[in-house]
Amino acid sequence: MSELLAVEGITKSFKLKRNWFQKKEFIALAPLSFSIESKKTLAIVGETGSGKSTLAKILVGAESPSNGKIFLNGQLLHKQQLKQRCQHIRMIFQDSGTTLNPSLTILQLLDEPLKLNTNLNESQRRQLIRQTLQKVGLLGDHMNFYPHMFSGGQKQRISLARAIILQPQVIILDEALAALDPSLRSQMINLLLDLQQQMGLAYILISHNLGIVRHFSDQVMVMSQGEVVERGETLSVMKNPKHKVTKKLMMSQNFQLKHHK
Amino acid sequence: MNLLDIRNLSIELKTKNQNILAVDRVSLSMKEGEVRGLVGESGSGKSLLAQAIIGVLDDKWHVHADRFHWRGIDLLRLDIEERKSILCRDIAMIFQEPMASLDPTTTIGEQLAEAIDSKQLSGFFWQKQQQRKEAVIRLLHKVGIKKHIQCIRSYPHQLTEAICQRVMIAIALASRPVLLIADEPTAAMESTNQGQIFRLLASLNQLKNMSILLISHDLENITHWTNTITVMYSGQFVEAGTTEQIFNKPLHPYTRALVDSSPKANLQLPSKSRLMTLPGSIPILQHLPIGCRLGPRCPRAQRACVEAPKVQNYHGHKVSCHFSLKDTY
Q: What is the CATH number of the domain that holds B219?
A: 3.40.50.300
Q: Which among A181, A209, A211 has CB closest to B217?
A: A181
Its domain, for residue B283, covers 4-105+155-328
Residue A191 forms contact with B (CB below 8 Å) = no
> With 50 as the cut, is the pLDDT of residue A79 above it?
yes
Count of Cβ atoms closer than 10 Å to residue A151 Cβ: 17
Question: Is residue B89 in some structural domain?
Answer: yes
Check residue A244 and give its pLDDT: 86
Q: Is the pLDDT of residue A36 over 70?
A: yes
Task: Note whether B97 and B49 are within 8 A (CB).
Answer: no
Q: How far is B280 from chain A (nearest CA, A)?
A: 8
Give the closest of A153, A235, A253 to B281, CB-based: A153
Quick: pLDDT tens for B31-67: 888 899 998 887 788 888 888 888 888 888 888 888 8
Of A190, A210, A235, the CB nearest to B275: A190
Number of domains in chain B: 1
Would you state the pLDDT for residue B105?
92
Architecture of domain A3-252 in this structure: 3-Layer(aba) Sandwich (3.40)
Q: What is the pLDDT of residue A174?
A: 85
| B131, part of any domain | no
pLDDT digits (tens, 9 = 90+) for B4-19: 888 888 988 888 888 8
Write out chain A residues lying below 8 Å of B263, CB-based: 186, 189, 211-212, 214-216
Q: Is residue B110 part of a domain?
A: no
Res A254: pLDDT = 65
Instruction: Note the pLDDT tens digit of each residue in A206-229.
Output: 887 888 888 888 888 888 888 888
B84 Cβ contact partners less than 8 Å away, ≥ 6 residues apart:
B55
Residue B117 lies in a domain: no
* Predicted TM-score (pTM) of this structure: 0.81
Please say if the pLDDT value at position A24 is more than 80. no
Closest residue in A to B261 (Cα–Cα): A186
Asked if pLDDT for residue A256 goes beyond 60, the answer is: no
The DSSP code for A253 is T
DSSP classification of residue B294: T
Query: Stretch A13-24: mean pLDDT, rounded?
Result: 73
pLDDT for B155-207, tens place per residue? 988 888 888 888 888 888 888 888 999 888 877 677 777 888 888 889 888 98
What is the DSSP track for A156-213? Answer: HHHHHHHHHTT--SEEEEESTTTTS-HHHHHHHHHHHHHHHHHH--EEEEE-S-HHHH
Q: What is the mean pLDDT of residues A65-80?
A: 80
C-alpha to C-alpha distance for A189 and A157, rounded to whole angstroms? 11
* Contact with chain B for residue A181, Cβ under 8 A: yes
CB contact under 8 A, A189 and B263: yes
Which are the contacts of B190, defined by CB distance < 8 A and separation ≥ 6? A47, A48, A208, B162
Q: Does A45 touch chain B (CB under 8 A)?
A: no
pLDDT of the residue at A259? 41
pLDDT of residue B188: 66
Report percent pLDDT > 90 for chain A: 0
Give me the pLDDT at residue B265, please.
Answer: 61
Contact (CB<8Å) B277/A234: no
Contact B274 A190 (CB under 8 A): yes
Residue of B nearest to A256 (CA): B267
Give the model's confidence band at A143: pLDDT under 50 very low, under 70 low, under 90 confident, else very high: confident
| Chain B residues closer than 8 Å to A217 by CB | 271
Give yes or no for a contact between A203 and A196, defined as CB atoms under 8 angstroms apart.
yes
List the single residue in A153, A216, A249 with the smallest CB-CB distance to B192.
A249
Contact status of B277 with chain A (Cβ, < 8 Å)? yes
Across the range A164-168, mean pLDDT stands at 87
Mean pLDDT of A167-182: 83
- pLDDT tens for B257-312 read 888 877 766 666 777 777 777 777 777 777 888 888 888 888 888 888 888 888 88
